[in-house]
Chains A and B, each alone.
Chain A
Amino acid sequence: MPKEKSDKQEQGAGRQKNVPVGEWIVAVVGLILVIGSISLTLYRALTEESTPPVISITVDSILPAENGFLVRFSVQNTGNQTAADLNIEGVLKNGEEIAETSAMTLTYAPAHSMREGGLFFTKNPNELDLQIRSTGYSVP
């Protein structure tokens, strides 16, 4: 440490202060976090087109439930826009005839993210033709 500087510090602070290495490390981590999060958001903001939500729903499992059956599914939004109040409808078909419908609303399906949900049916989805699709959403 240069003598001049330490003199100045002693005068200025009343007590001499060494900056611990840890302090620098945390500061550099902070700098990286700032640059990292700014550049990630900027990159996304500048490169991504605002394409509408693209919703795909896959059935994960069909389980017995109280008074019927539970169909658990995951919703994947591969679009660049978030869908709010995403309505999801499940239909059980017996040939052309609709045997039962159930519906739920997913509060949010964020862009490029996955959410999970479930639908209850009284009839056995394993024995019928199960179709799950999203029927509509609002822009948050």
Chain B
Amino acid sequence: MSSPSKNVKSEKSDARRFFVDLSRAFGGAILFSFPLLMTMEMWRLAFYMDGLRLALFTLLTIPLLIGLSYYDGFEQTNTVKDDVRGAFIAYAVGFAASTLVLILFGVITPGMSANEIIGKISIQAVAAGLGAMLTQSLLVIDDETEKNAEKRKRSASYGGQLFLMVVGAMFLSLSVAPTEEMVLISYQMTYWHTAALAGVTLLMKYGFVYAAKFQGHHKVHSPDESFLSLFLRFTVVGYAIVLLISFYILWTFGSIDGLSFAEKLKATIVLGFPAAIGAAASRLIL
């Protein structure tokens, strides 16, 4: 900082570091979103999905990315401003990555209306933006960033842990949510199946929390916290979050439109299965 030449040098290395970060984020965007980029329901959603729902989906991505940047972004952040900037960078990278891949796949061609093209890209950009932001944990990088994020993750408050559950639930459920199988599976299931699936999901979720307790991952609960407290505070609340996220995603994609309430609930519990795994494992995968 004291000598001008040093300053120039550090600026140059900062710019190079940003370029490296950007390339890595690009890779992460594709790594996370390729299942969706290769799902035909996602291409088609763009022209039958409700515009308001798509706008809301994009809008909600931003606070999600900001929060994720705070806990686990692709670069070190110290201020809210850094996190906000990081969120928009991740979205831009996700948008660019989706555009490139969709053009390469011939999904976007001339003759399509601007609305269709923007719709096709922006629905993918959500997942790709998440991927760009998650890069730092997906592709392990320098120890410093890793330690920094790890520290934040560990010191995450109860609210912070719930937030990571939301991201984990979205992370795993997004890649299967748009497929027809979600609703098809729920058609195949009786209400007994559904109840059993919900039970198994809860049990599995508790298993993850229990295992994490012994590994000392959570600082929020003390080692001698009772079964009931642990179960209520993490497993039950976590599952409620998971079901809300599943329902929101199914509603966004219009998969459960026109179904009766009971059928909607069944599909939500089906999608809740991968979502719960994502939420429970959020400390492992994020």
A interface vs B, CB < 8 Å? 6, 9, 12-14, 16-24, 26-31, 33-34, 36-38, 40-42, 44-46, 74, 82, 84, 108, 110-116, 140
Q: Are A20 and B91 in contact (CB under 8 A)?
A: no
**Contact size range, B:** 35 or more
Contacting pair B1 A16 (CB below 8 A): yes
For chain B, residues 98 to 152, give those with C-beta under 8 angstroms from any C-beta of chain A. Answer: 111-116, 118-119, 121-122, 125, 144
Cα A112 to Cα B44 in complex, Å, equals 14
From B52, B92, B112, B115, A27 is in contact (CB under 8 Å) with B92
Give the Cβ gap from A78 to chain B, nearest Cβ, in Å. 10
Q: How many angstroms from the CA of A44 to the CA of B114 in the assembled complex?
A: 11
Chain A to chain B: the 3 pairs with minimum beta-carbon distance, closest first: A45-B51, A30-B92, A30-B88
A114 to B116, CA, bound (A): 11
Quick check: B113 and A112 within 8 Å, CB to CB?
yes
The reply on B70 being an interface residue by CB < 8 A is no
Partner of B47, one of A18, A30, A111: A111
New contact pairs (9) apart from A28-B88, A37-B55, A113-B116, CB-CB < 8 Å: A21-B15, A26-B89, A31-B88, A33-B122, A40-B114, A46-B52, A110-B113, A111-B116, A112-B116
In the assembled complex, how far is the CB of residue A116 from the closest CB belonging to chain B, in whole angstroms? 8
Does the CB pair B15–A20 fall under 8 Å? yes
Q: Which residues of B contact A26 (CB under 8 A)?
A: 22, 88-89, 92-93
Interface residues of B (CB under 8 A from A): 1, 10-11, 14-15, 18-19, 22, 44, 46-48, 50-52, 54-55, 58-59, 61-62, 76, 78, 85-93, 95, 111-116, 118-119, 121-122, 125, 144
Find out whether the CB atom of A41 lies under 8 angstroms from the CB atom of B76.
no
- Name 6 A/B residue pairs within 8 A (Cβ), A-sorted: A18-B10, A27-B86, A30-B93, A34-B59, A40-B114, A110-B116
Assess whether B51 is in contact with A30, with CB atoms less than 8 Å apart: no
A38 to B44 CA separation, bound complex (whole angstroms): 18
Bound Cα distance A65, B64 (Å): 55
Least Cβ distance of A73 to chain B in Å?
13
Query: Using Cβ atoms and an 8 Å threshold, which residues of chain A touch B50?
Result: 45
Q: Could you tell me the distance between the alpha carbons of A20 and B88 in the complex, rounded to whole angstroms?
A: 15
CB pair B89 A41 closer than 8 Å? no
